[in-house]
Amino acid sequence: MKLRVLPLAISCVLASSMTMASGAGSVLNPVKAEVSASVAHWNDDKAEMDAFISELISKMTLKEKIGQLDLQSGNRNVTGPFINEAYEQQIRDGHVGAVFNAYGADFTRHLQTIATEETRLGIPLIVGHDIIHGHKTIFPQSLGEVASWDLNVAKMGARVAAREATADGISWTFAPMADLTRDPRWGRVSEGAGEDVYLATKMSVARVQGFQGEDLGEKDTMMATAKHFVGYGLSQAGRDYHTTDVSDYELWTTQMPPFKAMVDAGVATFMTSFNDLNGIPATGSKFLLTDVLRDQWGFEGFVVTDYTAVNELVPHGFARDDKHAAEIAFNAGADMDMVGLSYITYMEELVAEGKVSEEKIDESVRKILEMKWRLGLFEDPFRYSDKARAEREILSEDNLELARDAARRSMVLLKNDSQTLPLNADKINSIALIGPLADNKSDIIGNWAAAGDRKTIPVSVKEGLEARLNDDVTINYATGATHSYIADAETVEMKTKVGMVAYTTADNPQLEKDFKAAIEAAKKSDVIVLAMGEQERMSGEAASRVELGLPGNQVELMKELKKLNKPMVLVLMSGRPNDLRWEDANMDAILHTWFPGTSGGHAIADVLFGDYNPSGKLPMTFPRSVGQVPLYYNMKNTGRPYDAENENQRQEHYKSRYDDSPNTPLYEFGFGLSYTTFHYGDVVLSSNELKMNDDELKVTVKVTNTGDYAGEEVVQLYTRQLVGTTTRPVKELKGFQKIHFEKGESKEVTFTLTAEDLAFYRGDMSWGSEAGDFHVFVGTSSDKVQKAEFKLVD
């Protein structure tokens, strides 16, 4: 009997509601998970669901059960090493439980029709896609969203993405990525949440709430995925897919908290990471996938591997062959195999040999079918393939405006000498708009842009300025330079790609022409605006770099333009911290726009001309050079600390310092300028003591807008524990508030600290607080703060 659209009639069903996994008994609770009081829920009819799924599983053959554990890629995108072109036939054979890289109402309806009408039991598919920072309306690159320090920006970006994607046939996204990293060489920093565990946790939870909404049963919500579990962001040498070496302290202190918080927030699925962890590849780690995730934290969704991660246990040297890899991964707790075909190829043999139990297969199948129930797929498998809703929702004016607002909120003003910005259209007659990203639609939406259009819909910088200025200001445009390592493979060859040489105009006659055109455009203009940075493919997966400077011949062109002695504004696009030493020393203003998305050109024009006052703050430290990496604000102190501000230490040799560089970064974590200025008063504490139990410490500072513009300020709270049973960081972010100030306005900003906020993994690896002396800091960035002191007492 084939199951059709409606669930089976089940008698004597008891009404019940599902309780979210709380993680009771966990030793980990370092960061509160809530962005708001509400928490996503999955369904209110668990008893009915359980009975339905039990009956369905009883009808399934072993082959059909194994098919539910298989995820295959469609051909709408290429996001990994290969695509299995036979996946449609495998759906007909009942060997596929879910597909990804498939979208469009008609195409996904086609796939669901095969699953529900051409298979014995008619079990619908889950359809997934990498909806990372937008579906077709593309929001800023994920790291840029974090730079907004605005939880509503992260939540709304995910909400819009879910509304568009679910109308286009998709019910599952492989986001958010919560891997913490301090290494900008790693390309996937663009997809993550920065270097700080507190900020990353808050942003990751906000994104889960945006994707999943209040109820997965609603047609415009989708399953989120907590990825990559865990430690991927610490890949050695910043090289993607590389090994990791993570201490227990580091693992539990910086890597685990965002994932635990997403469990508490009701995230539907987890994805394994590619890396090994202390010698055990994450995809084969029972400790991670079962002992921690399920037994300790109480996670009730299902676990999917990353792309071919099961097969990769073999080159890791952890499995003899793909069959052995399937045995290891499944028994460790990986419910679904992404693309690698290991489960459907070998699982029957493994069951026959007694190496995998059918009972365990039933458990994994149940978790996957539960999500299909919660998504409403058994009620209506075509509910997400809604052409009419897609036409209304996708790229709507409201969505484009929300993306524009998110983009300008994410931008970080890194330099602004002599109030070069904002530009005043009434005082300039012409602008030289120069650079490979100036009239570029493809790169402006960044990497992992899902189904985003790269040819017609995105608003380029040139188009944004033209729309803002009309004919009031002349725009003299020239490409000028290339932002790729390879301009002409036949003449420059691969040596340029690996950074052995930089372009010069002698490498290619066309480059000389481009230089001359740019210089001529600049000569007849009042201001030079440079739209420069990385090609979008230089950030993201498999996009690691050993050099962080701007690629191609962009710096060479800027050096030539500098000779004209005209105001120069750098509009920088990239997905990572870059080496900007020359730019910082020579530009009059630098605006980091990340990759701002579909409405990026409008947002950039808004900021350049003061229609929006930039308010973004850096979510990652910008080093002076690659040689400082890894570099991050919440480092541990050393037994021989070096303080460059201390006159007595400046020339000391036997200190923790470089001979050829300051220790300090170029731009610190939390840094970001405004067109206005803010003055911070003294930090005032409600008491000089905080008691361990049931006590609160109020931390208050008066902040005043002392400049000429209204604007927003991110007020940041940090603490430091001076002595502990483990060494403590020099600062730890414990709170932030993004607040709007009118010109001349003052506000008292108050934070509340409890002993739980000061908890950490102590010397015996137990979680808790320790009495002692603390510093508390409030300021505009991690290194520009006002300080006060208090004691935590028993």
As annotated, the active-site residues are 306
In terms of DSSP bridges, do strands 568-573 and 430-434 run parallel, antiparallel, or are they unpaired? unpaired
Residue with tokens 């750098």: 570
Tokens matching residue 4: 């059709």
Q: Is the peptide bond before 602 cis (omega within 30 degrees of 0)?
A: no
CB environment 724-759: b (16+ within 10 A), e (fewer): eeeebbebbbbbbebbebeeeeebebebebbbebbb
Q: Residue 125 contacts by C-beta under 8 Å, 6 or more apart in sequence?
A: 91, 96, 97, 98, 99, 111, 112, 115, 377, 381
Give the CA diameter of the chain. Answer: 85
How far is residue 654's CA from residue 386's CA, in Å, rounded to a whole number?
68
- CA 396 → CA 137, 169, 326, 403, distances in Å? 8, 17, 44, 11
Helix (H) / strand (E) containing 352 = helix 342-352
Helix and strand element counts for the chain (H, E): 21, 27
For CA atoms 446, 450, 452, 455, the dihedral sign is positive
Residue with tokens 């993004």: 738
How far is residue 338's CA from residue 360's CA, in Å, rounded to a whole number?
19
Q: Is the peptide bond before 630 cis (omega within 30 degrees of 0)?
A: yes
- CA 194 → CA 186, 204, 213, distances in Å? 12, 11, 24
Coil/strand/helix, residue 62: helix
Tokens matching residue 5: 């659209």
- CA 280 → CA 220, 303, 316, 328, 640, distances in Å? 38, 17, 9, 11, 35
C-beta separation of 264 from 298 below 8 A: no
E strand map for 332-400: 337-338
How far is residue 393's CA from residue 107's CA, in Å, rounded to a whole number?
18
How far is residue 21's CA from residue 260's CA, in Å, rounded to a whole number?
11
Number of Cβ within 10 Å of residue 317's Cβ equals 10
Q: Is the peptide bond before 176 cis (omega within 30 degrees of 0)?
A: yes
Q: Is the peptide bond before 703 cis (omega within 30 degrees of 0)?
A: no
Smallest CA-to-CA distance from 575 within 186, 22, 73 is with 186
What is the DSSP annotation of 678-738? EEE---EES-SEEESSS--EEEEEEEEE-SSS-EEEEEEEEEEESS-SS--BS-EEEEEEE
- When computed from its CA atoms, the radius of gyration of the chain, rounded to whole angstroms, is 27
